[in-house]
A and B are shown apart, each in its own frame.
Chain A
């Protein structure tokens, strides 16, 4: 259904490897393969959820898109134009179109700036407005995200966590971006406030047709906001599908295990729980073949040797597994 819409962003085989230096000569002794060949697209007005556990590379993907980090390899296209090799000056116009909301509303707002100035900063940067116009825009943005105009002159510490996240959203929205990269925007919030912020993001999408890359570790949260979801494990996408499809027919064993690990708030709920053994392996010494084979309950010889490719199982449902489930 998204195919008819315009492709905003496309990643092709994106990689980010960090060298590990050791000794006085700082010789490179290895690499951290944070992101290892990630490809996906985001369409206009769509939310793509990017899910995985800590260290799977999901935030690195987000930061690479913002060009806060330069990719080691691979290509990034914005509306068909390649942007991964642009210089800082050349990338500026794109920065206006791709904005970000970060996880920690405490450290991502400058404590010495007033709320109104925080929200107005991108405006000042990208759109020369008169003072009166600027203030009017900030007022509109405040109303949009559910903050009161009398709070405009306050400092970040005077706001609660949820309100700070609203400020972050207002700041991202100020320059009317096409895509907002939301990196764990609700994981620092309490449930009742988390629901407020998720609903707010949904409403804003309805109104402005903005796209989100929604990065989170919690599948239950991602489900409420995403049209499609990509699941990452150790730097690679293991499954990508439309939300309902992913939940109804998880085809990668890791997705299945992730789903079964989330506690259901119903004491009478009986379910088949798959408890994965061990921890996530280190991205420095990754397992051979399929990275997941060390923890996979279905793993066979082939998985240790041959890395599975991301294949299209049904329309729009991609899985990287030799022994796909539910097929």
Chain B
């Protein structure tokens, strides 16, 4: 049962983002669809190179072109296709209606500007605030993300702050204009676990306060379980499964999702247990993949898998799976 409220604010449909490189076409995102509603957190999970970051960059139209190109699909924000927007219109959306938190706060903050100045920039651009208004709002934002002594911190440079603090600044910046959608690309991957716990707590708190929709890009299923209501699992540029968070963890239907869950080291296992590995590795995206991209690594693959690409099918309660031989339908499975 999904806990979505109201109608979706962002609908991505059949998105295809390809990169045209010297070595051939890389199909980073190859026909991905999903939607997010107000106040909802949607997680996009997958391993490196599965296209989850390119998906999020595509939404904000931040794909460098060339070599990248969104070759088809639509990204409807309140019903309007962002792909039809001019560059100026897109600039008005970015950082205002839709904003983003990047993984590496050190490289995404400008090292020669104070953090206050960087947060202020967003406000000046989108809200045309006066200097005094900007200052007040910056302090308010810094307090909101629990930065101690905001008056002095706003005059510091990124290198003077710790990793956790920098990520808080990124969050403050992203929330400066009360966005409707917040895209968080691996927001805690570069942080230590105790700091990760702080940041996740903060994000949950702010989500409940602002009702912003969050698209959380991550490789960590633990973070997904703590944050998300709905989950999209991606593999080799395609969506292989989508379900509510409870359904996904209780009855994963795609063999890849099951494999991910089993291969994850977890605290609640007994110590002597052996991890279940997924054999092989992620396929190269340079070659066109015929059939199911996961088939060569899948223990449940049948003949059809390597011939025909499986379509997404809704099994129950908006639990979408793209598999010819999904897990629960196999009688032998416990």
Listed in ascending order, the chain A residues whose CB lies under 8 Å from chain B are: 53-54, 160-163, 190-196, 198-199, 202, 217-221, 223-224, 243-244, 247, 257-269, 273, 275-277, 279-280
Contacts and interface: CB of A to CB of B under 8 A. Distances in A.
Contacts, number: 131
A258 to B, nearest CB: 6
A280 B164 CA distance: 10
A190 B297 CA distance: 15
A288 B301 CA distance: 60
B83 interface: no
Q: Give the residue among A195, A219, A243, A267 with the most B Cβ atoms within 10 A.
A: A267
Name the prevailing secondary structure of the A interface residues. helix
A264 B273 contact: no
Interface of B: 47-48, 162-165, 192-198, 200-201, 219-226, 245-246, 249, 259-261, 263-269, 271, 273-279, 281-282
Given A263-B222, A265-B249, A53 B194 contact: yes
A220 B265 contact: yes
Given A162-B281, A262-B222, A267-B225, A279 B195 contact: yes
Given A192-B263, A194-B263, A267-B225, A276 B198 contact: yes
Contacts of B200: 263
Contact of A264 (B225, B260, B279): B225
Given A193-B281, A195-B278, A247-B267, A262 B219 contact: no
B192 A217 contact: yes
B21 to A, nearest CB: 15
Q: Give the residue among A163, A196, A262 with the most B Cβ atoms within 10 A.
A: A262
Contact of B263 (A160, A191, A217): A191
A59 B225 CA distance: 31
Q: Give the residue among B219, B261, B274 with the most A Cβ atoms within 10 A.
A: B274
A162 B165 CA distance: 32
Contacts of A265: 221-222, 224-225, 249, 261, 264, 266
A264 B222 CA distance: 5
A163 B282 CA distance: 12
Given A217-B193, A218-B193, A263-B223, A279 B162 contact: yes
